[in-house]
Amino acid sequence: MVAKAEQLYEGKAKILYACDQADKLVAHFKDDATAFNAKKKGTIINKGVFNNKISAVILKMLEDKGVKTHFVEVLSDRECLVKKVDIIPVEVVVRNVVAGSMAKKLGLEEGIVLKRPIVEFFYKSDPLDDPQINEDTAIAMDWATPEECVFLKEAALRVNEILLEFFDSLGIRLVDYKLEFGRSSDGILLADEITPDGCRLWDKATGEKLDKDRFRRDLGNVEEAYQKIFELVSNA
Ligand code: ADP
Ligand code: UDP
């Protein structure tokens, strides 16, 4: 049994609680949905339940394949226990297919398959809308050391190999996604969540978007998309 203690932080999608294990946190997944850095707000019914389970299955699968993650165990429908980390303020985006900000910035059609995966760094800052940075900026600003930058890129590419195969086996195209990492006494761990909130997931057969773009772009059937990924991942 884990005894939940005081609330430490409420974010856009999750609430973090202390617990009776000092080196761990309870993460509670909410139904709140935001886009465009919280300029658009809404609710996706049961998103918290779906995302808690989706992230748990994926993080456990990654752990089984040798990726060190913060995930410990699922506690309830909406809560899981994680190792507390000091989040590195560099969001790591991996792209396999052109979409989103890359399409916009370079004037490209969404859907172009990249010759090889791209790893991009963004500075984790809500007030600044997470600007894109490079490794030199992260190092010069002391957001990450040179060794950590090498680790982040290598870990992201390893995670990508595993996730590409995993989603492909479920009939899903893994277009792009965001990862967060944190420092702990066990070294750098993959943290936060891997869910349709932070990934672009397209149905391989139909091209249908099964991720937060349905909310961002008012495409309808938002809950259904999250539920579909939940069912596929739960049965994997
Ligand atoms: P945001 O902060 O962007 O609104 P969330 O609502 O998902 O996002 O809040 C969860 C917060 O917890 C994020 O800022 C994330 O960086 C942080 N976080 C994720 N995993 C851990 C962890 N294991 N230890 C400490 N902080 C974490
Ligand atoms: N992403 C995220 N949080 C962010 C920024 C991006 O989870 O703060 C995810 C997003 O869902 C997508 C990928 O990272 O799967 C790449 O996002 P992009 O740079 O294309 O930005 P977007 O157009 O989605 O804002």
Maximal C-alpha separation, the chain: 52
C-alpha 143/C-alpha 73 separation (Å) is: 29
Mean pLDDT to the nearest integer, 202-213:
98
Domain with CATH 3.30.470.20 in the chain: 86-234
**Which residue is it, tokens 């202390």?**
18
Mean pLDDT of the chain: 97
In the structure, which protein residues have their CB atom closer than 6 angstroms to any atom of ligand 1? 11-14, 16, 25, 70, 82-85, 87, 180, 182, 191-192
**Ligand number with the minimum distance to the CA of 209:** 2
Percent of the chain clearing pLDDT 90 (strictly above)? 98
**What is the average per-residue pLDDT within 156-185?**
98
Record the tokens describing residue 202, joined without a space.
């397209």
- Ligand 1 pocket test target in 8, 9, 69 with most atoms within 8 Å of CB: 9
Average pLDDT over residues 174-182: 98
DSSP per residue, 66-82: T--BSEEEE-SSSEEEE
pLDDT-derived band at 19, boundaries 50, 70, 90: very high
- The pLDDT score that the predictor gives to residue 179 is 98
- pLDDT at residue 66, as a whole number: 98
Cβ–Cβ < 8 Å for 24, 81: yes
Between 3.40.50.150, 3.30.200.20, 3.30.470.20, 1.10.3720.10, what CATH number should domain 86-234 receive?
A: 3.30.470.20
86-87/172-184 β-pairing:
antiparallel
Q: Which fold has domain 4-83?
A: Phosphorylase Kinase; domain 1 (3.30.200)
List, by residue range, all CATH 3.30.200.20 domains of the chain. Answer: 4-83
Per-residue pLDDT band at 215 (split at 50, 70, 90): very high
* Ligand number, closest to the Cα atom of 26: 1
Query: Average pLDDT of 172-178?
Result: 98
